[in-house]
Structure 1
Amino acid sequence: MRLAYWTAFWVFLVDQATKYVVVHGMNLMSVMEIDVLPPLLTFRMAWNRGVNFGLFSGFDARWLLVALALVISAFVLIWLHREGGRRAAYVSAGLLVGGALGNVVDRVLYGAVADFINMSCCGIDNPYAFNVADVGVFAGAVGLVLFTGDGKGKGPKAGAKRSGKTT
């Protein structure tokens, strides 16, 4: 579990540091757009009050989304603690939890998630922005799908379940 916690810590820290540097340090809130390697990489300020791609942003669901992120993070950690898994599963859980907590902090502090990374290519103008936390949540969710669920239950309580003993 230590690997999951450390991964979550570093994803959270990198997410918050990049948001601070770009949004505040580079003053993206005022200039709204900074060309880094156009058109491949542009910093474009977007305050996401909804879920992915701004869905449901018309509703004031800030505290519901904060609670949902915290419940899902706790569930993932408890589940992984009980079931165990390969190193990749712990890293995946850490990516998801660290990203979720990074976005929770934004919602609590700003009322919305600070998205700023915009990538376009090959004549296609991508209108959406994301952040490091979003990458962590996405990669962590994909990793949990790929690296868990073999049904063997390798966690500390799994052996007790198979042998009929309780701990």
Structure 2
Amino acid sequence: MKHRAFVFGLIVIAVVFGFDQWTKQIAIDELSNPHRVIEVTSFMNFLLAWNPGVSFGLFQGQAPWVMIAATSAITLGFLIWMWRTRDGMLGIALALVVGGAVGNLIDRLRHGAVTDFIDLHVAGYHWPVFNIADSAITVGAALLLIDSLFGGKKSSR
């Protein structure tokens, strides 16, 4: 049972990673030459942005190898946690975080920065531009928080 949950988690990682990389490549192809913005709705645009930092542009001044090493270490820790858990929902949460982290890690290795392209805005306020990997990490982190608050004893940490 435990290994079946881990294999399912690996599938979730692969799907998140694949969808993230596919959408980023489309964004690069369609939005970079010439640089343009595509209005999708009255509150969402697609535009190409490069983020050398982490979420919301934090830590942009760090050396790239620091970001790559930190992401790799955290990802490995989450994979070990995912291997050890028997809780399916916790495994999915960890897989979402890992899939997103690997997607952004590959961007850092390939481009030196993370490819962002989803721009949400309301009344002149723009949320920081993000991507599918960021969304998976956010959903996974929210599920981890919910599990830590309400999961009780069924979660293995």
Amino acid aligned to 1:76: F
What's the CA shift for 1:107? 0.2
Give the direction of change, closer, same or farther, for the CA distance of 1:53–1:32 in structure 2 (3 Å limit): farther
Q: Contact conserved, 2:9 with 2:82, CA < 8 A, in 1?
A: no
Task: Select the residue among 7, 15, 19 that pairs with 2:20.
Answer: 15
SS in 2 for 1:74: helix
Q: List aligned pairs for 1:78-117, cutoff 5 A.
A: 78-85=80-87, 87-117=88-118
Match of 2:133 in 1: 133
**Which whole-Å CA distance do the structure 2 matches of 1:70 and 1:113 have between them?**
15
Using structure 1 for the length normalisation, give the TM-score: 0.81
What's the CA shift for 1:127? 5.3
Match of 2:49 in 1: 46
Residue ranges of structure 1 left out of the alignment (5+ in a row):
156-167
**Which whole-Å CA distance do the structure 1 matches of 2:153 and 2:82 have between them?**
12
* Structure showing greater Rg: 1
SS in 2 for 1:32: coil
**CA RMSD for the aligned pairs?**
2.0
Give the direction of change, closer, same or farther, for the CA distance of 1:144–1:153 in structure 2 (3 Å limit): closer
Amino acid aligned to 2:115: A
Give the direction of change, closer, same or farther, for the CA distance of 1:111–1:51 in structure 2 (3 Å limit): same
Using structure 2 for the length normalisation, give the TM-score: 0.85
SS in 1 for 2:117: strand
Deviates more, 1:104-113 or 1:47-56: 47-56
**Which whole-Å CA distance do the structure 1 matches of 2:85 and 2:152 have between them?**
10
**Which whole-Å CA distance do the structure 1 matches of 2:119 and 2:76 have between them?**
30
What's the CA shift for 1:152? 4.9
Q: Which has the higher helix share?
A: 2
Q: Deviations over 1:19-74 (max 9, x none)?
A: 011212x1x12333322324311112211001111122133x21211111111111
